Structures are given as C-alpha cells and as structure tokens.
Structure 1
Amino acid sequence: MSSINYTDKIPNNVNLSEDKTLQRALEHWQPNYLQWWNDMGPNGSNQMDVYLRTAVSTTPDGWAHFGHVKMPDYRWGIFLAQAENDRKINFGEEKGRAAWQDVPGEHRANLRRIIVTQGDTEPASVEQQRHLGLTAPSQYDMRNLFQINVEEGRHLWAMVYLLHKYFGRDGREEAEALLHRNSGDQDNPRILEAFNEETPDWLAFYMFTYFTDRDGKFQLNALAESGFDPLSRTCRFMLTEEAHHMFVGESGVARVIQRTVDVMRQHGVEDPAQVRALGVIDLQTIQRYLNFHFSVTVDLFGADQSSNAATFYSSGLKGRYEETKRDDDHLLKGQHYRILEVKDDKLQEREVPMLNSLNEVLRDDFIRDSIAGIGRWNRVIEKAGLPFRLSAPNKAFNRHIGGFAGHRISPDGRVLSEAEWAANERNWLPSEEDRAYVASLMGRVIEPGKMANWIAPPPVGINKQPIDFEYVRFN
C-alpha cells in the first residue's frame, strides 16, 4: 500500500497524519497485517457484509458507529482515552511524580515486554476462533463473534502503535513478530499457553469470552494505572470494547443454560444422557467446561509469588485493579498477603510480602468477579426449579503455573494422589466424549432470527435492531 488516508482508513486521535516516521512504519506493517487477517482471520468471511460497530473517535457519539462492513475493510483505528491534566503516578517508588509521556530508559525493556505480551494475546484469540463462523448457531451470534474478532484486531493495532511510536527498531521488529507467531504453532506459538488452546466449539467460545476476556479486563485495568501515560490511555479505551466481549460470554452461557433447563422442564428429565438425547447440552457438561476455562484462565495471572510483579509495581509500570480506590500507602513495603500452598498434603494459607504476591492479588480480584457471574447463571437454573448449581472450582484446581503446578487438586480443594485424580478427571474436566457430543451439535444457522436447537434466543437484538435483523449478508 503506497499511501493511506490517515483520517478515513485509520481513524485516530494521535495526530497520525503529522507523524511521518510512524506513517512509514505503519505503511510497511499494514499490508502484513491484512495478509495475516486473510490467512489467519475468520475463515471464509471476507466477502460477507457484517453489521459491525466501528470506533471513529473516543467521544460518546464517536466510538460506536454501526453499519454493514466487509471485515477486511474495517477501519482499525488507533485511539487513546482523553488525557488527564497533570496526571500523576499513583503507586510505587515514583508515586506523586508526573506520569511519563515517553519511555524512561531504565524501564524500556520491561515496558516493551509488558506491551508485547498483552499485544500477543489479541491476534491469538482471533486465530483460536477463526473456524467458529462455520458453525455459528445464529446470525446474531456470528455477528458477535466477528465484532469481537475485529476489536481484537484493533487492540493489536493499539499495541503496535505503542511499539512503533516509542520503541524504535526494537518496536518495529516486535510488531512484525506479533504477526508471525500463531496460536498452537509447534515452532512459533503464542507467548501465553492459554492462547495456544483450541476454541473448538461455541460453548468453549462463550466460556473463553467470559473467563479469558475477563482476565483481559483485569490486566488492562492494571495497565491503565501505568505511569507510562500512552499505555494507560490506550488500555483505558480498550476497556470500553472489552466489556462487549465479556457480555457475549456471559449472555451466551446463560442462553445455553436457558435452553437446557427449558427442555428439561418440558420433558421432565434430569439425567444427562436423557438431556443429551433431546439435543441440548447437559448442565454437568457445562460445569466441566466451566472448570476447564476457569482453571486455564487463572493460570494466566502467573506465579503466586513473582519478583517481576514486584518490580513492575515498584517501578510504576503496572498497578493493581482499581489502584486509586485502595486504602493503603500504594508502596506496599512491609505489607503482607495470604496465599495458598500445599503443605502436609493439604491446602494451607501462608503470609508473604504483598509486593511479591501482586499476581495473586489480581487473580483473587478476578475470581471474585467471575463468581458473581456464575451466580447469575445459577439464577436461570433456580428459576426453572432445578436443584443443580454451577460453581467455580478451587483456584488450585488443574493448575500448570506457580506453586500448584505438579499437584493434583480436586475442585473442592482436596490434595489428591495421581490415582485419585485419574479416577475422577472425566467428572471434572471435559472428556473427549463431551467435546465430541458438543461438536455434534454445531451446525451453522444462517436464516435471520433462527437459532440452533441447543441455545435460546437473546432477549434483545443489537443496537435496537430486531432479533431477525440481517446481521450478516452472505455475498
């Protein structure tokens, strides 16, 4: 691409048209991005006209423009939230000093690492979900999938902007590498293991967007506290879009549950085999999917104790969730936090320095928020008059990172032998048979307003449109 109209093609509020160096970098990067989208983006979707929301500014009337768009023509913009006058760093050794408008030399490597790790998750989720459009349960759901995909693409643009703008040649090389790693690739996988897992079906997609995008919410909120102001402003705007991703997950699982309990009541059945015979997903399988996605996401927060987390906080690079609402000195020296560990074949609490346990603080914030949504799912079951209840497993369950890696812990927090784990694993995590059954239900429904048998319709449409609106036009 020889030239780009920087106002129309790439909506932005970073004066892109006046930054010749950044223009040249993006003119080189954008064609590679579009090639990546063509190769690794939503399968078979390029000619569809999709009813998408596009941000054209950060103002209330500018960040949500709706219309039918071909996804390769989507206007991936670069937006920073409005600047705060005289913004200060609110935590760590730099507390009270002016926020940085450029990268401090001593923090350059750590900031680049933070931005690259966050940026790597954005295209990874698109790659994980690229085949789901072929089995969408409705046009409404297909459109929501594609909306998430283009917004993850825009979030990649947001991170690439920071790399190009503030990190010179290193940043340009990292931006290229973001397009060359691929989810699940044996030779060049994505950085975080959860983003190398397949998303093989729509129940997995809803769980992913509920749990793993919720990890994104907490990570972005922590980065929005950063003393590096461009990163803070970038993440604050990204959070306006992340909320929709979590809505798709929470409402999607709720609709799966609603359809299941409606069928159970209608036919007077509770046995999972009888429920499956009626073509819906039994509640026990939903619980196993929940256990898997919860535990994989909990790992994303990292080790229980981390010197890197302490360094990032003390340096003013990454704060806590809602840092300024916390009633402490925001230095945390001499303060402690209670973490879980395995001792004498039991889970026991131990007090450790809070600075080293900030991953655990953020993980616990995430768990509380996740459990609240599970409670809303349970109200759907309760309203149907059924005794079954979903629950979050213990945070030590099925862990592969941190102090619990290598231990076998049950969902209710008991330390198990390998034999006990092997005898119960299929009761707690999706089996091959579970995944095969869910996969057998996946078949694309494209008639406007129609839903697959295994999911209830949404209560309302998108942007005040009816449920039977033509959200996707197949050309």
Structure 2
Amino acid sequence: MSGINYSEKIPNNVNLSSDRTLQRALEHWQPNYLQWWQDMGPDGSTNFDVYLRTAVSVDPDGWAQFGHVKMPDYRWGIFLTPVEGERQINFGEHKGRPAWQEVPGEYRSTLRRIIVTQGDTEPASVEQQRHLGLTAPSQYDLRNLFQVNVEEGRHLWAMVYLLHRYFGRDGREEGEALLERRSGDADNPRILTAFNEKTPDWLSFFMFTFITDRDGKYQLAALAESGFDPLARTCKFMLTEEAHHLFVGESGVARAIQRTCEVMNELRTDDVTKLRQAGVIDLPTIQKYLNFHFSVTSDLYGSEVSSNAATYYNSGLKGRFEETKIADDHQLGSSTYRVPEVAGDLLGERDVPALNALNERLRDDWITDVAAGVERWNRVPAKLGIPFRFQLPHKGFHRKIGVFNDVHVSPDGRMLSEATWTHHHQEWLPNEIDRAYVQSLMGRVTEAGQFANWIAPPAVGINRQPVNFDYIRFN
C-alpha cells in the first residue's frame, strides 16, 4: 500500500493521507483483512460485478454512490460525521464538560472493550451469512445480501480505525484479534452468543437483519451519544448505512408473507401441509422464526439490572437511545425504572434505580420498534383477507440471560413447568422439520427479474433501477 492515494483507495475524512502512524497500522492490517474476506466473506463471489453503493464522503451526494464493482475491490472507507461545534458530554457525572477528543485515561480499558465488542459483531455477521449467496432467491436479493456484507465490513473498518488511532499497541492487537475469531468456532468464537448462531437460510437472514440488526441500530445510537467524540461521530455515520439493513430484513419477510398469502387465496386453504406442497412458507412457521430470533436477540442487551451499564452511563461512555430528547436530569441520581421480576411461579415487575436498568430501557426501546415493524407485516395478510396476525412473544420467552434464565415462559407470558415446556416448545420454535422444509426451498435464482416461488418480488428496485435490472453480473 506504500505510495498509494489514500483518499482514492480508502475514502476517508480522517486525514489518513497525512497520518503516517495510522497509515503504517492500516498497511499491516489491510492485507490481513483482505485475506479474512477471501476466507470468510461471501462464498464464490470474488469475480461477480455487484451493483453496490459506496460511501466516498459524508456529503449527501457522496455517502451513497452506486455502481457495479467486484467486492474484493470495494473501497472500505473511514468516515466520521462532521464536528458539531463545541460538543459537550450530555449525561453522567461529566455532564456539561467538553466532549473528549482523546481517550480519557481512567476509562481506557472500558472504552476499548466497548469498541471491541461492537467491532466483533461486524465480521461475525459476514461469517454467519457466508454461504447464503449460493441459495439466493433472486439477483435483487443477492445484491442486498452483498450490500449488507460489504457495509458490515466497513463498520469493522470504522471500529478498527478507532482502535488503531486512539489505543496504540493494544488497539492494534485487538484489531488483529477481530480477524482471528470466527462465528461458531468452538475454540475461538465471537464474543456475543447470538453472533455464533448459524444463518442457514434466507428466512433466517431476513429475520436477522430485521431483528438483530435493529439491536445494532439501538446499540449504535446509544454509542452515538458517547462523550468520546470520535466514537460518537463514527457511530452516527454507521447509522446512515444500518437503515438499509433493516429495510432488507423487514421487506424480505413481508415479501415471504405476501407470497404465502397469495397462495393461500389461490388454494383457498390455510392447511400447512397443502401450503408446503405448494412450495411456500406457512405463516405459523414464519411466526416460529420470529419467536426464535426475537428471543435470542433480546439476550444481547444483557441482564435487566447491570452495574456495567450504570458505569458506562455514569462515565459518559454510552448513553440512552436519543439521550438528548429525554426530559430528565441525564444523571439519574434518584430516578427509577421498572424491570421484570420472577417471584416463585409468578411474573411481575419491580422498581430499581434507573442507572442500573439501562439495559432494560434500551431493550424496551428496541421492542417497541420491532413491534411496530411486526404491525407493518400484519398489514399484508389483512389486505389480502387472511385472518392471521403475527405477535411478538413475551420478553421472558426462551431467554438465556437475566431474570428469565432459569424459568420457562410461554409466548403469551405464562410460567411453565419443565415438563410443559418440553412438551410444547416445538409449537413455538422452529424444529428440525421446519428448518429442513425451509432449507428445501432454498434454490438459487440467477436470471434478472426472476424470483423463487416462496417470495414475492419487491414493489420497486434499488436506486430507482427496475426490478429486472442486472444487479449481479456473474461473469
């Protein structure tokens, strides 16, 4: 990379061309990143020309430039939103003080851990989705998968930039470790459990991008409030790209629902066996996938009561969702928040100090957003005259972290015995038969404008292109 035009090869607004220390760090890291992409990126895609958007600046005309590009040649850039005047810390014990432009020494290890944990999710998603391109239901969907993949890669670059720029040798070592862990690896797994789950089919992918990437939205939004200004500005720009990931998931599931409802009306049946014989995903199975991904992602927020979350907030490192829009003192000295409680065989709630309930508050914000998306899904069967409604399960359903870890809760919020759970849980979660059936539908469709039988076409294409546009040139 020596002697290259950094603004061209690595689009950025961090003065990379004049920062020789950072150049040296990236010159060492980039080849390892490209090798990771070759080994763990989208399977068999190296020679495809893909219609992708690339960020080349933070300007409205520059952050989303479209064109066909080979993914190994994608320009993974480094962008922070512009400086906002004399920004202050908006919460915690440092509220009102100038935002930090360098890492505060007393929070160095904590801040590094926050950045590494966020950074670890980005390559993990790519690894989880590595083989999906081999069973894409259309060129349009394959292009969307690849867009998500390259932007997860760019988000990794964003976190590695922070590690290299602000954490010296420790940061460089953490940057290397981000490329060494592997999703689902028994010996060196990704940090968070949900990012070690498999994404074996496209319904899982759509659920992941709708539900788990929405967790990413809320985590990034909380970090975008950080008193460490480079982290806040980095995450604000990442959020502009995250919106497309949520769109891919929500619209993908909606299109599967639409196709199923169309076949239900054609056959005049809601019989699961007949619908599966017709090659579509029955609505109860889609509900099971919703239950699974919702519950697994709920655990990403951690325990309902958390001293770590309180420390992050009090230190000014991680705020709440839309912190500055909340009407309180932003220090939470005497505020309380209601969290779930399990008392014997009863589910209830209790008030705890709001400072210790920040995980639960962020989870509740996320649940509200997910529920709104599910309601948009429900418009599809309603419009087609199908009397079926999707429902989010109770927040205690199928949980492995927090107060619900040692109990069984039904989707409608009833406490269950071990025996009852064992007898009924396959009615609520995808079983081996369900997953095998969904997998059986996964066949690659490569002709422009053609779609697999189980999913409806989108209403419009990407970037005002027609639906039958050549989004992928397979060469």
TM-score (norm 2): 0.99
Provide the residue aligned with 2:135 in structure 1.
Answer: 135
Q: Which residue of 1 aligns with 2:172?
A: 172
Write the distance in 1 (CA, Å) between the matches of 2:462 and 2:415.
46
Shift of 1:3: 4.4
Task: Say yes or no: does 1:271 pair with 2:271.
Answer: yes
Is contact 1:56–1:77 with CA below 8 Å preserved after alignment? yes
User: Percent same amino acid at aligned positions?
Assistant: 73
Q: Distance in 2 between matches of 1:161 and 1:5?
A: 18
Which segments of 5 or more consecutive residues in structure 2 lack a partner in the other structure? Answer: none
CA RMSD of aligned residues (A): 0.6
Moved more, 151-160 or 345-354: 345-354
Most deviating of 318-327 and 343-352: 343-352
Give 2:41's aligned amino acid.
G
Match of 2:430 in 1: 430
Kept after mapping to 2: 8 A contact 1:92/1:330? yes
Deviation at 1:22, TM superposition (A): 0.3
Equivalent in the alignment of 1:312: 312
In structure 2, give the amino acid aligned to 1:48.
F
SS at match of 2:8: coil
Aligned to 1:458: 458
1:135–1:444 Cα contact (<8 Å) kept: yes
* CA shift digits 1:179-217 (9 cap, x unpaired): 000000000000000000000000000000000000000
Give the deviation of 1:141 after TM superposition.
0.1
Deviation at 1:5, TM superposition (A): 2.1
Q: Deviations over 1:293-350 (max 9, x none)?
A: 0001111011111100000000000000000000000000111111112112011111
Query: Does the C-alpha gap of structure 1 residues 452 and 93 become closer, same or farther in structure 2, counting only changes over 3 Å?
Result: same
Q: Distance in 2 between matches of 1:426 and 1:271?
A: 18
1:314-329 superposed matches below 5 A: 314-329=314-329
Q: How many residues align?
A: 475
Tell me if structure 2 keeps the 8 A contact 1:137–1:444: yes
Q: Which amino acid aligns with 1:264?
A: M
Q: 1:205: which partner in 2?
A: 205
Aligned twin of 2:396? 396
**Equivalent AA in structure 1 for residue 156 of structure 2:** L
**SS of equivalent residue, structure 1 residue 7:** helix
Whether 1:366 and 2:366 are equivalent positions in the alignment is: yes
Verify: 1:123 aligned to 2:123, yes or no.
Answer: yes
Paired position in structure 2 for 1:106? 106
CA distance in 2, matches of 1:273, 1:347: 37
Matched, 1:64 2:77: no
- Residue 440 of structure 1 is matched in structure 2 by 440
Structure 1 SS opposite 2:159? helix
Paired residue for 1:39?
Answer: 39
Hey, what does 1:152 align to over in structure 2? 152
The alpha-carbon deviation at position 4 of structure 1 amounts to 3.4
1:151-197 CA-partner distances (Å, limit 9, x unpaired): 00000000000000000000000000000000000000000000000
The answer for the alignment partner of 2:245 in structure 1 is: 245
Amino acid at match of 1:243: A
Q: Hey, what's the Cα distance between the residues in 2 that align with 1:459 and 1:17?
A: 43
Could you tell me which runs of 5 or more consecutive residues in structure 1 were left unpaired when the two chains were aligned: none
Question: Runs of at least 4 residues of structure 1 off by over 3 A?
Answer: 1-4
| TM, length-normalised to structure 1 | 0.99
- Distance between the aligned counterparts of 2:326 and 2:381, measured in 1? 35
- In structure 2, C-alpha distance between the alignment counterparts of 1:443 and 1:52, rounded to whole Å: 23
**Which residue type is aligned with residue 45 of structure 1?**
S
* Matched letter for residue 323 of structure 2: E
> How far apart, CA to CA, are the structure 2 residues paired with 1:273 and 1:417?
30
What is the correspondence of 1:324-335 to structure 2 with a 5 Å cutoff? Answer: 324-335=324-335
Q: What does residue 89 of structure 2 align with? A: 89
Deviation at 1:271, TM superposition (A): 1.2
- Native 8 Å contact 1:4 1:27 kept in 2: no
* Range moving further from structure 2, 381-390 or 289-298: 381-390
The equivalent of 1:380 in structure 2 is 380
* DSSP-derived class of the 1:399 partner: coil
